Each structure stands twice: as structure tokens, then as C-alpha cells.
Amino acid sequence: MTIFLILAPFGSFALLMLVTSAQISLFAAAAICLAVIGIDIARGRSVKMLGTGSVVVFSGIGAYVTLIDPNLSSSAVKLAADVGVLAISLASIAIRRPFVLQYALEEVDAATARLPDFLKATYIITWAWTGAFVLMIIGNVLTIYVPGLPLWSGLVIAFAARNSAAFFTAWYPQYRKAKYGTPPANALPGTN
């Protein structure tokens, strides 16, 4: 359920871009981000960097398209949104708070969060998402600069990249658990 809520604004944005204007798509995605933030608050969870940053990205691009350049192409709008999300991801890594960490801390118990490789795993998953964002940008750049390339090719790249990152997010913790197992209780810091 969590991954659905995280991806809902982005999926809605991509779908709406196919059937309506960039302004409606962008502001609807920003509204969905705000709704997800509201759901998190109602559940007693923290406000996430990705959600908050996405509200800023979608709203900022929406304001730009509405006030400055209403003729910006769909591919350029998608490219701007993907660059904005990539910037959020890279900024989270740069400040040493990978955006995945906020979600992970709400899904695991305190003992798991204290494991030595827990933070490393969140960085690896964040880098997987960062790679997916880069692939989505490449897909958008190709649709802008390669004449004759079908519009759906960028959508296929984005869909494959996003779904691969989502699969990796679910698979990697299970892989680590199977490979390394759960350490004995006395191996955790502060439990001796």
C-alpha cells in the first residue's frame, strides 16, 4: 500500500498528460501529493522529503506553464518533472538522508533500524530510484531530440524504469535478509 501511495502522484501525472493539459496534470499531481502528505499526517507518520519536494516541483512547473510558457511541449514538461524528482533524490543523498530512509524507518522495527547495514541498504535503494529517474530523463530527452520516435517509447522507458525500481525496493531487503539472515539479539548495538 505504501508504494502505491508514493507512486500515485507520478502515475496520475503520466496518465493525465495523455488525456488533458499540462496545467491540469501538474496541479492534479501536486494535489495528490498533498493528499498523500495528509494521509501520512493522519496516520501519525512523518512528512516525507519526496512528497514535499514533489509538491514544489509539480506546482512550480505548473506555475511556469500557466504564467510563462503555456506552449511548453508535453515531453519538456515531463522532462522538467523528472529532473525535479532527480534533484530531490540527489539532494537527499547529498544531505545524508536518503529519501527512502523516511519510508523504511516507518516499516521496520527499532532493532532492524539499528542494524549496521540498514542505512547502507537505504542508500542502495535510493540509488536504484535515482537510476530510474535518470532513465526516465533519457526517455524524455529521446522523445524531444530524436525526430520520429514515437511518444509511447518515452512512456515505456518511464514505466519500465519506475516498475524496476519498485520491484528492487521490495526485493532487495528480502535478498539481504536471506543472504545475511537476522543477527543474534546481542549483536545489535546497545543490546548487550
Ramachandran assignment for 185, one of left (phi > 0), alpha (psi -120 to 50 degrees), beta (any other): alpha
Instruction: Identify whether 192 is part of a domain.
Output: no
Residue range of the domain that includes 68: 2-187
Q: What is the pLDDT of residue 35?
A: 95
Euclidean distance between CA atoms 13 and 27, whole angstroms: 9
Please indicate, yes or no, if residue 30 is contained in any of the structural domains.
yes
Q: Are 141 and 79 in contact (CB under 8 A)?
A: yes
- H, E, C per residue of 167-180: HHHHHHHHHHHHHH
- Cα–Cα distance for residue pair 5/120, rounded to 1 Å: 24
Q: Tell me: pLDDT of 190 over 50.
A: no
> What's residue 6's pLDDT?
86
Min mean pLDDT across 21-30, 59-68, 85-94, 181-190 is at 181-190
DSSP H helices, 43-150, are 49-67, 74-94, 99-107, 110-113, 118-145
Is there a domain that residue 90 lies in? yes
The cell numbers describing 51, all together, are: 512528497
Domain count of the chain?
1
Give the pLDDT band of residue 1 (cuts 50, 70, 90): low
